[in-house]
Amino acid sequence: MPSRIMFVVFALVGLAPWTDGIANAVARQPEEKLATAAELFPLRKGAKWRYEIADRQSKNLDAVIEVLGTEVSDGTVSYRLHRTDDSGSKYDYYYSYKDSGLYYAGWKSNNEFAERFDPPVCILKDDSPQVQSWKVKTKGKIYSDRTEEVEHRVTQYRERITCQGGEVTAIVVNHSYYTPGFTFFKYDGMALKMPFFSPQRLPGMEWTTWHVKGQGVVKFQWQSVSTDEIKKSPPVVQSLASVTGLGIFTASSISVNKDDEEGANPVVVDSYRLEAGDSAKFKFSRTITRDVTLAVKAGGEVEVASASKLDLKLISADVSGRIKAAVEASTGTKFEASETREREITITNTTNKVREGRIVWIDTYRAGTIKITQDGKDYDLQFRFPTGTRLESRNKE
């Protein structure tokens, strides 16, 4: 089978049996936040996946897929993915997002479509706790100049898998398609499509793709099917070796400073002017929201420029819980997500002249560093965790 077929697995995912067993497997999965199609197949310019492939002859190959950018046609924005492998093959694939799904339009070789579907076919939908199945009919050109009717069958469900050393929830998509004008014949151990017009409607290929939120396709396999739908060629398996350019990161060591530090900008809540011997009482409340803030640790220009690729909001949302636990362990104090404090302060002018000043809140923080690894690079980020606040009087300067 030509190596160009191998990435179609990535583009058009396979059809597993539509059975009640799948539904039962889904029902046993723990509840998790449902991912969108865009999160299950994130297409960001510069994103690059490297896969290890085992073909039918057990020859290992590496394939690299990179998002080169977008193209606009008939008002639709399509993402162009460029694929290369160790065999020297080079192909471009076209995808678009719409209607809560990912759509596949086809692939090009030498700037000409070798496979094209009109309209593009939905190959992935937003995640759902239920099994999703759909059929789509399109017009298609498949390895020929002849345009034919193509019917696609897709099933999507959830499954727990082991991926890169950890257990995650994967969205499994099974996909097959056939053309009624073609039948498939056994030839030299492989199923080949031949232009014999026949009423038989048989899937010629079956694909299965595993998607993980935020990473895209982590594994897929495909195999050809003979005319009797029983004999199948050995599957070709492609597994994710690495991914860069998607902002995927891991957090490791956390270091917490020994003492609290004050915020640089006091919050002014009132001002006063007292004559000699006068006094005044002030009472205010303030709510502390314990949101972790992150910043790139000061360093050389090269380090800061490289770290600018980090999505600090995304990282903060992911590591805030770990930082809070580390601060609690260091201080021996449990902190609520938010806390309202009420304080009173009495100011007495004991001088023989007018005294002017301001009433301010002084926020305190526990700072430290956390190590983040992204795209093979390590970064030390500084964090600040709100620990408390106090009410003070500050003389007018």
Element (H, E) at 38: helix 37-40
Q: Tens digits of per-residue pLDDT, 88-108?
A: 888 898 999 988 899 988 888
**Fold for the domain defined by 5-244:** YmcC-like fold (2.40.360)
Q: Alpha-carbon distance 90 to 12, whole Å? A: 17
Q: What is the pLDDT of residues 227-273, one digit of tens each?
A: 444 456 667 788 888 888 887 777 888 999 999 999 888 999 999 99
**Six token digits for residue 193:** 């499509």
Most confident of 174-178, 302-306, 353-357: 353-357
pLDDT (0 to 100) of residue 114: 66
| Domain 249-395 top-level CATH class | mainly beta
CA distance 173 to 30: 19
Q: Please, which residues have CB within 8 angstroms of residue 74's CB and are 6 or more apart in sequence? A: none
From residue 387, alpha-carbon distances to 40, 150, 232, 288, 370 in Å are: 37, 62, 63, 8, 18
Region 317-338: mean pLDDT is 91
DSSP string, 151-201: EEEEEEEEEEEEETTEEEEEEEEEEEEE-TT-EEEEETTEEEEE----S--
Residues 6+ apart with CB under 8 A from 293: 316, 383, 384
- Local structure of residue 277 (DSSP, 8 states): T
- pLDDT attached to residue 289: 92
**C-beta separation of 226 from 252 below 8 A:** no
Confidence of residue 80 (pLDDT cuts 50, 70, 90): very high
CB-based burial label for 382 (10 Å; 0-12, 13-18, 19+): middle
As a whole number, the mean pLDDT across the chain is 78
Q: Where along the chain do its domains lie?
A: 5-244, 249-395
Residue in the structure block whose two tokens are 């304080």: 343
